[in-house]
Amino acid sequence: MSLQYYALNSIQSNNLFGTKTTVSPSSSSSLSSYVLKISGYPKSQEIQHEIPLIQWQQLQGDDAPQISVGSYDIAIEEAVKRVKSILRNLSDGEITISAYDTAWVALIDAGDETPAFPSAVKWIANNQLSDSSWGDAHLFSYHDRLINTLACVVALTSWNLFPHQCHKGIMFFRENIGKLEEEDDEHMPIGFEVAFPSLLEIARGINIDVPYDSPVLKDIYAKKELKLTRIPKEIMHKIPTTLLHSLEGMRDLDWEKLLKLQCQDGSFLFSPSSTAFAFMQTRDSKCLGYLRNAVKRFNGGVPNVFPVDLFEHIWIVDRLQRLGISRYFEEEIKECLDYVHRYWTDKGICWARCSHVQDIDDTAMAFRLLRLNGYKVSADVFKVFEKEGEFFCFAGQSNQAVTGMFNLYRASQLAFPREEILKNAQEFSSKYLQHKQEKGELLDKWIIMKDLPGEIGFALEIPWYASLPRVETRFYIEQYGGENDVWIGKTLYRMPYVNNNEYLELAKQDYNNCQALHQLEWDTFQKWYEENWLSEWGVSRSELLECYYLAAATIFEAERSHERMVWAKSSVLVKAIFSSFGESYDSRRSFFDQFRNYIANARQSDHHFNNRSIRLDRPRSVQASGLVGILIRTLNQISFDHYMSHGRDVISLLYQSWGGWLEKWKLDGNEGHGELLVKMIILMKNNDLTNFFTHPRFGRLSEIINRINLIAQYLKTMRNDKKEKTVKRMENEMEQMVELVLLEVDTFRDVSITFLDVAKAFYYSASCGDHLQTHIDKILFQKVL
């Protein structure tokens, strides 16, 4: 069944309340785009039963009644195709060229006093910027421009080529060297304190006239000495360390020993500049092979690091998931994660495959995504990055990377019971991030991004246990910088397949399409509430809105309208039942008996629909009244809608699910309804998963989610200063659920994920009350611009 038909059928089948809804094709002749035109809404505030209806149209402007809800309109279809093309052609990584590294390659002598790579020299000559510098053309950084410019001047001067361009470059350098101290150290390129002084020494050796005595250089030389003492030379000759990435900045090296630490592809820790320097010293054929491949791949220039295959695969998946569009690319994402898992080791990974050096940033990001998607990865991997209670990205690092700790924090929240290393990692990383946040120092040494403080602030405020998909996506769409985000390596660089405006525009359009459908559903949901006089049964308008919001913020996809609506309606009905019949055993038993008697009579009257008849009317002899009647009518309508969409009669299962919950609830009135919500959602799915209701794991998950539900309800009634122990209890329950859901990958996974989704909504409701109204307004009613 197409998504277009599904969305339209959902709206038509729920339109029971007198609203005029017409469906007409858009200007395109394609069936993939429809516009729903809604009329009949008075412009003044509508009052029914003395309770004002919430009119989202008033929040949207004059053109609100015309809403595009085609979940597969032409623009989205085309954008999805373009992104799929990117994902299907991933290789060693798409990355921009580094003038600095290209200059080192251009310095290589072919053996006859001519450049071994004339195409590199040509690239330098063709890529000087209008201000006479070299570097990133769109983001000005003194560190980046100065090291790139000096390297290019050195390369051209060494071959006595392009003297006019060299002169202009020297003038730029002389005018700006003193401004290095104006920039944040956090944005200093990787290895700058080692590479820049060595480059100055080469420049001095070929008589390039630059201010070698500038005061700012003294600080840089001091930083170089400090860094070199962190990893002693005898260590760097024995085991792979990050210094292999910056060999061009070092002297007095034992190349016989260092060549034993070479990567499989011939590089030194995937650095063209480091490898170029190594080749100049050794004339090693594997180094030359690596450089030839890189120059050929990038048509003359080379990037600051290559390959970056694992980095690209991991970060693309993260971006697509956080932007809320991963469902369009499930096959491609699985291929990405299969690729990453293939190169996963018990010591972690780095940005490229088959590395002998690992880092906590790539390891944490990969761990989180692999665990979330059902791959078995051990948390013990983080012991490699821990020493005396502190976590580090690289051994011997000069300073901590904010994003490395951020990704460690995100990964740590997926801890299973007894994974103490992850609990320690969460404590360490959260304290580090909070400290940086308080001091206003959320700058990172690896990336310059649109809103890193916003990302970290959201993660610290909304824990993963409470993070609902639409909430995260709505905020991340505003935080994601697309192609304007710039990475920091030895020079500034860009990852066009990671930071891509195509993803951002697709995310915006998809979000607005889903939101438009949610607003239509909210209208019909309010009318269902009004028609059934549910305010008289103790459910307030604000509770109604919260019920729908929690469902829509979790199950947001257009094609899952039935699941979303059954969640929302079931939540409201549970509230009404608790409010009206929950105080005494007698009233609970009375309600249960009425429901049970109705079901028995209905079955005798053959009140159901099957493949021969579809009947919503019922014999007068089995009419139910009051709240029982509202429950029965709602279940019947839900069943009818599902039958019309999927051809499957679920009325008996709906009755059984509610009957089972009511029977437990009548005993003490404190029965959690998490299991009930999960069953109702599962019954609405396209595929029949009801055989899992008797699965042992279903029983275990049901027990946990009901406890989480009860704890969440209790937390809402507590004072903030009394919540700590109760929150810890709920976290322990969530931890158990996460292990049960993520550890096993089988046909039960779809059911397990539903449990986790509902549990996170309970956790959110209990812990994020201060944000509720702001989030509802933003997620449901504010269009993404």
Q: Tell me the per-residue pLDDT of 519-554, one tens digit each, with 9 for 90 and over.
A: 999 999 999 999 999 999 999 999 999 999 999 999
In terms of domains, do 385 and 481 share one? yes
390, β-bridge pairs: 387
In terms of domains, do 319 and 435 share one? yes
In terms of domains, do 412 and 271 share one? no
Residue 10 within any structural domain of the chain? no
In terms of domains, do 407 and 494 share one? yes
Residue 240 vs residues 12, 134, 344, 430, 638: alpha-carbon distances, Å: 64, 31, 18, 30, 62
For residue 710, which of 669, 748, 742 has the smallest C-alpha distance?
A: 669
pTM: 0.88
> What is the token pair recorded at 647?
């051809």
In terms of domains, do 212 and 290 share one? yes
According to the model, what pLDDT value does residue 347 have? 95
In terms of domains, do 367 and 284 share one? no
According to the model, what pLDDT value does residue 724 have? 87
User: Given the structure tokens 């760097």, which residue do they identify?
Assistant: 236
For residue 521, which of 492, 497, 557, 490 has the smallest C-alpha distance?
A: 557
Q: What is the DSSP string of 329-370?
A: GHHHHHHHHHHHHHT--TT---SSTT-S---HHHHHHHHHHH
Q: What is the 3-state secondary structure (H, E, C) of 517-550?
A: HHHHHHHHHHHHHHHCCHHHHCCCHHHHHHHHHH
**In terms of residue numbers, what domain contains 384?**
77-93+308-499
Phi, psi of 23 (to 5 degrees): -115, 130
According to the model, what pLDDT value does residue 58 have? 46
| Amino acid code (one letter) for 396 | G
Residue 616 within any structural domain of the chain? no
Residue 50 within any structural domain of the chain? no
Q: Please enumerate in sequence order all residues whose Cβ is within 8 A of that of 89, keeping only pairs 6 or more positions apart, or say none.
A: none
Residue 646 within any structural domain of the chain? no
In angstroms, the CA 244 to CA 26 distance is 59
Q: Are 598 and 632 within 8 A, CB to CB?
A: yes
In terms of domains, do 265 and 324 share one? no
- Among 260, 278, 297, identify where a domain stops: 297
38, β-bridge pairs: 21
In terms of domains, do 218 and 341 share one? no
Residue 66 within any structural domain of the chain? no
Q: Please enumerate in sequence order all residues whose Cβ is within 8 A of that of 351, keeping only pairs 6 or more positions apart, or say none.
A: 270, 305, 308, 310, 311, 359, 362
Q: Are 369 and 378 within 8 A, CB to CB?
A: no
Query: What one-character DSSP code corresponds to residue 555?
Result: S
CA dihedral over 755, 313, 552, 411, signed as positive or negative: positive
According to the model, what pLDDT value does residue 185 have? 80
Query: What one-character DSSP code corresponds to residue 48?
Result: E
In angstroms, the CA 70 to CA 86 distance is 24
Residue 354 within any structural domain of the chain? yes
Secondary structure class of 386 (helix, strand, coil)? strand
Residue 660 within any structural domain of the chain? no
Q: What is the DSSP string of 5-30?
A: HHHHHHHHHH--SS-EEEEEE-SS--
66, β-bridge pairs: 37
How many distinct structural domains can be found in the chain?
A: 2
Q: What's the CATH code of the domain at 256?
A: 1.50.10.160
In terms of domains, do 348 and 473 share one? yes
> What is the token pair recorded at 382?
């983080």
In terms of domains, do 291 and 323 share one? no
According to the model, what pLDDT value does residue 591 have? 94
According to the model, what pLDDT value does residue 232 have? 80
**Long-range contacts formed by 181-188: CB under 8 A, 24+ apart:** 181/216, 181/219, 182/142, 183/141, 183/142, 183/143, 184/443, 185/399, 186/399, 186/402, 186/441, 186/443, 186/444, 186/445, 187/141, 187/143, 187/443, 187/445, 187/448, 187/488, 188/143, 188/445
Q: What is the DSSP string of 236-303?
A: HTTS--GGGGGGGG--S--HHHHGGG--TTS-BTTBHHHHHHHHHHH--HHHHHHHHHHHHHTTT-B-
Residue ranges in the chain modelled with pLDDT below 70: 1-72, 396-398, 603-624
Q: Tell me the per-residue pLDDT of 79-136, one tens digit each, with 9 for 90 and over.
A: 999 999 999 999 999 999 999 999 999 999 999 999 999 999 999 999 999 999 999 9
In angstroms, the CA 358 to CA 230 distance is 17
- Among 443, 469, 499, identify where a domain stops: 499
In terms of domains, do 312 and 191 share one? no
**Residue 612, Cβ neighbours under 10 Å: how many?**
5
According to the model, what pLDDT value does residue 32 have? 30
For residue 759, which of 709, 689, 685 has the smallest C-alpha distance?
A: 709
In terms of domains, do 86 and 103 share one? no
For residue 768, which of 460, 323, 529 has the smallest C-alpha distance?
A: 460
- Among 478, 499, 520, identify where a domain stops: 499
Residue 168 within any structural domain of the chain? yes
According to the model, what pLDDT value does residue 605 have? 57
Specify burial of residue 283 (Cβ count, 10 A radius: 0-12, 13-18, 19+). Answer: exposed
- E strand or H helix that includes residue 613: none
